[in-house]
Amino acid sequence: MCIERPSYSVVTGALLLKSTDTPIARISRDIGYATLSSFYRIFSATYACAPAAYRAKHKTA
């Protein structure tokens, strides 16, 4: 059984979602995704929720 680790860019995106108010589209672009939809697809597959839901649940003050 092969368990893949999340890519560095997705982990970085999750960190930015938790710690900044930067728009999701800008985070996606800044970490190297060509389209917002590709970031949403890969992020959702990795974290089992959309980036906006992840931010709402994990946002730090």
DSSP string for 15-55? HHHHH----HHHHHHHTT-SSHHHHHHHHHHHHSS-HHHHH
Question: What's the CATH code of the domain at 47?
Answer: 1.10.10.60
Within a domain: 32: yes
15-60 pLDDT, tens digit each: 999 999 999 999 999 999 999 999 999 999 999 999 999 999 998 7
Q: Is 1 a domain residue?
A: no
Band of the pLDDT at 2, cuts 50, 70, 90?
low
Per the structure, how many domains does the chain have?
A: 1
- The number of angstroms, rounded, from the C-alpha of 59 to the middle of its chain's C-alpha atoms is 13
* pLDDT score recorded for residue 1: 52
